[in-house]
Amino acid sequence: MLALNRPLIMGVVNVTPDSFSDGGHFLECKKALERARQLVDEGADILDVGGESSRPGAQPLPLNEELRRVLPVLEGCVRLGVPVSVDTYKPEVMRASASAGASMLNDIWAFRREGALKAALEAALPASGPGLALCCMHMQRDPATMQDDPAYADVVSEVAAFLAARVKCFADAGVPSEQLVIDPGFGFGKTVTHNLRLLRELRTFASLDVPLLAGLSRKSTIGAITGRERPQDRVIGSVAAAMIAAQNGAKILRVHDVAATREALAVLAAVSQGSP
């Protein structure tokens, strides 16, 4: 299991086609692995490999294309010697990832799609060997429609109730709580105001006694606060948000900018320990 005595950094590895090159699959995989190596050198504790974008309005990826993108990169990442998470909601990708050495399944649907719960339980509770960790994220509606006027009576209590129900489902199936991770799903069916309140009241989720993941990196809420249009220009705001998340109980920070987050976390740790 992951040691969670300090906040861990999860580095994002996207395996997406490069529209500027015609090198095809090999180049796409090579680029993702170079990125993964860089993130590990910068101090990533975990890598999160994903083939399908979940940006608002993004199109679903066919199964074979997702397997073709994710598996070679997953195998390369496992060889780097860090735990690897796979960001997927498809049961077939979950099974293939577990066989290829993944340590965590990260599902933006919290294993609610058809067949996903069964695949997740097989991965978490194998007949032999260690089980995979499972990350359950909250999302209102689906990526195509989630940002069309998201609404809640009370975002914090609704997200907390959803996550508590998912934790209970896995606990009832026998998955130990140390193997579960919960995530309020910043930006997934939430306005800027919803995201700010979730971040301010993150402790509510930490009190569910399951490790908490926060993914705010480069998201549009950071752009709305800082005025930075381009995701790659949102590093400073993202690091600030990650530090607030860590102070409010997040145990895993899902980020694109590992070196900057690592340095900021060192300051946070030094302040709480009273020495560098």
Query: Residue 166 corresponds to which amino acid?
Result: R
What is the Cα–Cα distance from 212 to 34, expressed in whole angstroms?
Answer: 28
C-beta closer to ligand HH2: residue 34 or 270? 34
Q: What angle do CA 18, 21, 23 make, to 5 degrees?
A: 100
Active site residue 234: no
Active site residue 219: yes
What is the Cα–Cα distance from 214 to 207, expressed in whole angstroms?
Answer: 15
CB of 256 to ligand HH2, least distance (A): 6
CB of 239 to ligand HH2, least distance (A): 15
- List the catalytic residue out of 31, 190, 234, 254: 254
Look up residue 125 and give its two tokens: 């509770």
Q: Which residues bind ligand HH2 (CB under 6 A)?
A: 12, 14, 50, 53-55, 87, 106, 108, 135, 137, 183, 185-186, 213, 215, 254
CB of 35 to ligand HH2, least distance (A): 11
C-beta closer to ligand HH2: residue 33 or 135? 135
What is the Cα–Cα distance from 233 to 229, expressed in whole angstroms?
Answer: 7
CB of 10 to ligand HH2, least distance (A): 8
C-beta closer to ligand HH2: residue 58 or 161? 58
C-beta closer to ligand HH2: residue 40 or 87? 87
C-beta closer to ligand HH2: residue 111 or 186? 186
Q: Which of 155, 9, 151 is nearest to 85 (CA)?
A: 9
Residue nearest to ligand HH2 (CB): 215
CB of 22 to ligand HH2, least distance (A): 23
What is the Cα–Cα distance from 113 to 74, expressed in whole angstroms?
Answer: 22
- List the catalytic residue out of 219, 228, 251, 262: 219
User: Helix axis angle, 155-172 relative to 192-200, nearest 10°?
Assistant: 60
Give catalytic residue positions: 219, 254
